[in-house]
Structure 1
Amino acid sequence: MDFSLLLVVAVTVTGLIWLLDAVWWSKRRQQRMALAAEGQELAHGAGQASGGQEGGMTYAAANKGTPKSAKEPWLVDYARSFFPVLLIVLVVRSFVVEPFQIPSGSMRPTLEIGDFILVNKFTYGLRLPVTNTKLVDISEPERGDVMVFRFPQDPSVNFIKRVIGLPGDRIRYEGKQLYINGEAVPKEVVDQTDTDQLEEVLLEESLGDITHPIYNDFRDPGPQMRELRVPEGHYFMMGDNRDHSNDSRYWGFVPEENIVGKAFAVWMHWDGGLPSFSEVRVID
């Protein structure tokens, strides 16, 4: 389900109903109310002139209340109430910040399954909802950013990975070592336990000024990737859980038009029990 599309449709429908009521339907209701009031005055005058029971009954019938055709429909009332709220949600979600939930372990240990994250929607430029067309160019992704993007093979699905290769970079991955432009990316083991016997070994990797944790499984040789050059307007993405991540090593590059935003914070964790706010943190 494309929530952005549903939100746009809801804003459009409620806004259109509110607009039609403001410029057309409300005026017609006012005219009906005026005619009803005029009829009540005539009936009241007739009742006073006759002074009889028949005239009194006519006056009572004329004062039963506003005709149904002159009352505000419930649909208009709901549209007027919900439109401002839906519009604010659409603007904030499309141009400021959008929440996401982490569904897999491909970004462990940086992000765990069940983490709820916030994504900055204007870091890389303002984009239209649904179409993702860029309106204003603000900045470009930097190596080491944790980025949400639309999966190139299925744009209806959002992925989150770390930016490894920028346009023009040469990327190689062999023997669990990442190479960028012919140079090995520095990394060191954090846990000094016997690495040959562990499924997950915690390391720290340095991408320029960004140092972040990664997992490697040294019992498995893992994927090997010959050197590739990142095309212009594209990015090479990898998960921090290097041996358990479906990323650019398998399906290729992410085009610039698929970018959603930069993940910057974890605000809640929920694994099916009670929500936890003890893991609130900034994403490195």
Structure 2
Amino acid sequence: MDFSLLLVIAVALSGIVYLLDALIWRRRRRERAEKAEADTIEGLDPQSREKLLKEPWPVDYARSFFPVLLVVLVVRSFIVEPFQIPSGSMRPTLEVGDFILVNKFAYGLRLPVAHTEILDVSEPERGDVMVFRFPEEPSVNFIKRVVGLPGDRIRYEGKQLYINGEAVPKVLLEEAPEASPQQLLLAEEMGDAEHRIYNNPRDPGPQLRTVVVPEGHYFTMGDNRDHSNDSRYWGFVPEENIVGRAFAVWMHWDGGFPSFTSMRRIE
């Protein structure tokens, strides 16, 4: 189900009803009330007049919901959109059940549903955590880390990421961390930023010979390197599939009571 499409339809329908009432139907109700009052000797009683002027339920609902739906559409399409993390592919950065906020204008403003860019703001940077529409199934949103920019040469062998022939620096922080005892916890440097990743020493994982990122595309990987369905398997992310940059976790919910203690910026 495409929620953006449903929201656009709801805004359009409620807006049309609201506009028709403002331009046509409201005047007709007043005219009927004035005619009925002129046709009676003693005039209409307040109850009868109120009944003739009363808005039909579709108009009442449209007037109530149109402004709310319009604000939600604008905020969700052009400013910020919430998402829930459904899988562990971005652990330890993001856990299953984290609710995140995604900056929708960080990489340019795009029309809802059509996804056409109407304002170019900036481009994704290496190390960004990006939400995008899965190239093989655009109705599904993915979240991964951008590791390759257009023109970059990417290689991944022996659990080591290489960008343009240089190994991306990483250091071991902990063996068998409590949150994931079967893995290694490492800190990886990408540009001026540092983030944490998991590697499974018992799993050889995927190997990727050098590929060149095409213009207008990006190479992405999950921080849970041996448990992530990412560009190593299905290729590059087209620029037109970009949704936005994830920048904060605002809530965690794993089926029990929601928790706000894990609020944090996404690095």
Bin for the TM-score computed over the shorter chain: over 0.9
| Partner SS state of residue 66, structure 2 | helix
Task: Provide the residue aligned with 1:275 in structure 2.
Answer: 258
| Correspondence 1:113 to 2:60 | no
Matched length: 263
CA distance in 2 between counterparts of 1:192 and 1:260 reads 35
Trace 1:123-162 onto structure 2 (pairs within 5 A).
123-162=106-145
Picking from 118, 135, 155, the partner of 1:172 is 155
2:25 equivalent in structure 1: 25
What is the aligned partner in structure 1 of residue 37 from structure 2? 37
Query: What amino acid is the match of 2:15?
Result: G
Q: Which residue of 1 aligns with 2:206?
A: 223
Check conservation: 2:107, 2:244, Cα contact below 8 A: yes
User: Which residue number corresponds to residue 6 of structure 2?
Assistant: 6
Task: Give the superposition deviation at 1:199.
Answer: 2.3
Distance 1:37 1:140, change over 3 A: same
Closer, same or farther: CA 104–193 of 1 in aligned 2, 3 Å:
closer
Answer with 1 or 2: which has the greater Rg.
Answer: 1
RMSD: 1.5
Per-residue deviation, residues 193-249 of structure 1 (Å, max 9, x unmatched): 69xxx6211001111111100000011111001100000000000000000000000
> Residue 58 of structure 2: SS of its match in structure 1?
helix
Aligned-partner Cα distance in 2 for 1:193–1:102: 24
1:74 maps to 2:61:
no
Amino acid corresponding to residue 49 of structure 2 in structure 1: T
SS in 1 for 2:204: coil
Q: Is the Cα–Cα contact under 8 Å of residues 36 and 67 in structure 1 kept in the other structure?
A: no
Aligned to 2:84: 101
- d(CA) in 1 for partners of 2:175, 2:210: 30
Q: Sort the Cα spacing of 1:97 and 1:67 in 2 relative to 1 into closer, same or farther, 3 A.
A: closer
What code does the residue aligned with 1:224 have? Q
Per the alignment, in what secondary structure is the counterpart of residue 103 of structure 1?
Answer: coil
Q: Quote the offset at 1:116 in angstroms.
A: 0.2
Question: What SS does structure 1 have at the residue aligned with 2:202?
Answer: coil
**Distance apart, 1:13 and its partner CA:** 0.5
2:85 touches 2:95 (CA, 8 Å); kept in 1?
yes
What is the TM-score normalised by the length of structure 1? 0.90
The secondary structure found in structure 1 opposite 2:48 is: coil
Are the counterparts in 1 of residues 81 and 101 from structure 2 also a CA contact under 8 Å? yes
Say yes or no: does 1:251 pair with 2:234: yes
CA-CA distance at 1:70 after TM superposition: 4.6
Structure 2 unaligned spans of 5+: none
**In structure 2, C-alpha distance between the alignment counterparts of 1:21 and 1:65, rounded to whole Å:** 20
Provide TM-score, normalisation by structure 2.
0.95
